[in-house]
Amino acid sequence: MRSPIYRTTFSSFGSRYSSAGTAMQCTRADRLAGIRRYGAAKLCQVMMLRLEKDSKLSSISVLAVDPAAMPTELSHRDGWVRGVFLAQVVLRIVAAIIILFRPNDPFRTTWKSVGDVLYAVFETETLGSHPSGIYMNGSKRAKAGAESEDLRMREQLWCDSLGYVRATEGDTVLTEWR
C-alpha cells in the first residue's frame, strides 16, 4: 500500500506547494522524487483550466497528456550499466514489447509518447475542434485526479502563479487576470 503522504499533491496552499511530505519537496534521497514532481507539474497544467475564464484567452485549449516513463538518454549519468545498457538498450526493447499489448501502460517508447501528444494536438474527430479541459493518459482520454477539479485549489494556483511572476496591471492583456 502506498504511503498516505503521496496521495495528495497539494496538502496546504499556505505552504506554497512545498510543505514537507508533498510531492513537491523530498527531504530524503528518493528515486521516485522526480516522478512525483513531474506528476505535480501535470496537475498544475490541468488546473490551468482557469484560462478559459478570460475572453482574450478563451480560445486557448488546455490539455494535459501523460506521456509516461520512457527510456531516454537522461539517465546517462547513472553509469554505463544502468544509464546506458539498461536505460537505453534493455528498456527500449521492453517498452516496444509492452506497448504492443498495453499501449497506455505507465512505461512507453518515446515514439509512442510523441504520437500521443500529436494526437491530442491535432485529433478533431474524437476530441473536437476546440478541446479543452481534457486529460489524456497516452492516447486514451482519462479522468484527472480529484485535486484538479477543486475550484478553490485552481484559483489559489492561479493567484500564486501571478505572485511568482510578480504580475502587475501593465504586464498583461488579460481582462480577468486577478
d(CA 91, CA 146): 32
Residue 38 falls in the annotated catalytic set? yes
Question: Any alpha helices (H) in 17-164, and if so which ranges?
Answer: 33-47, 91-101, 110-122, 151-164
149 burial type by CB count under 10 A (0-12 exposed, 13-18 middle, 19+ buried): middle
Catalytic residue among 17, 42, 112, 135: 42
Residue 127 · residue 134 · CB < 8 Å: yes
135 in active site: no
Which member of 6, 17, 38, 53 is catalytic? 38
How far, CA to CA in Å, does 161 sit from each of 6, 47, 66? 23, 12, 22
Q: CA dihedral defined by 137, 30, 150, 138, rounded to 10 degrees?
A: -10
Instruction: Point out the residues that are catalytic.
Output: 38, 42
